[in-house]
Amino acid sequence: MNAGRLNNFLKYLIYGSLALAAGITLFCGYLFYMKGNEYFDLQLDIKDKQNQKEYLEAIDKVYSEDSKSESKILEALPTSKAVSDFLINISSYAISVNATIENIEFPENAKKTDKITNFQTKLKINAAEVDPIIKVLGMLEYNRRIVDIMDINIAYDTTQKTTPYSANITLKAYYKSETTNETKK
């Protein structure tokens, strides 16, 4: 009987070992499956973060190029004194091409940001012919200042003998905002 018991013992030992090996294999498979999913999720997260980083780097590059462009524009903008000098220059030029500025309307308020101020002004130019008015418009178009011509209205008035042509011009001028210690704080 001893041999039968030993045989049963070995049989149970083998079955037990196989069951233990199967249990360990299933447990390891379960861990691998769970941790494997986490691993793949981490891989996807890493790839997503790398894509986000590349996107942010591209945005940063565009932003730095935009800020360089902005600084170039700000360098080109005149000061408020230069804008008033510019309007005086328009008047001088108009006189030199045989036109007169009858009226310049200045606005009561201007649109202001932290860096740029703009205002609309209206000019009324009179001339004996259309050509001087066109020359003044050409001077506005080709000058170095940033000026938008918003509206032009050219009229011919038969009752005016010396200067029958007139032009009402609405333009928007831009200049650097004045920075004081109060605005910097």
Q: Give me the CATH number covering residue 109.
A: 3.30.70.60
Q: Would residue 98 be called left, alpha or beta, if left means φ above 0 and alpha means ψ between -120 and 50 degrees?
A: left
pLDDT tens per residue, range 128-147: 999 999 998 888 877 766 77
Q: How many CB atoms lie within 10 A of CB 130?
A: 13
Nearest to 169 by CA among 117, 103, 112: 103
pLDDT the model gives residue 110: 62
Among 57, 76, 95, identify where a domain stops: 76
Same domain, residue pair 87 and 55? no
Distance of CA 4 to the CA centre of its chain: 90
Same domain, residue pair 9 and 51? yes
- Say whether pTM exceeds 0.95: no
Same domain, residue pair 61 and 150? no
Q: Is the pLDDT of residue 95 over 50?
A: yes
Same domain, residue pair 97 and 133? yes
Same domain, residue pair 68 and 49? yes
pLDDT tens per residue, range 64-73: 776 666 666 6
Same domain, residue pair 93 and 53? no
Residue pair 131/123 in contact by the 8 Å Cβ criterion: no
pLDDT tens per residue, range 35-88: 767 777 778 888 888 988 888 888 878 777 766 666 666 666 666 666 677 778
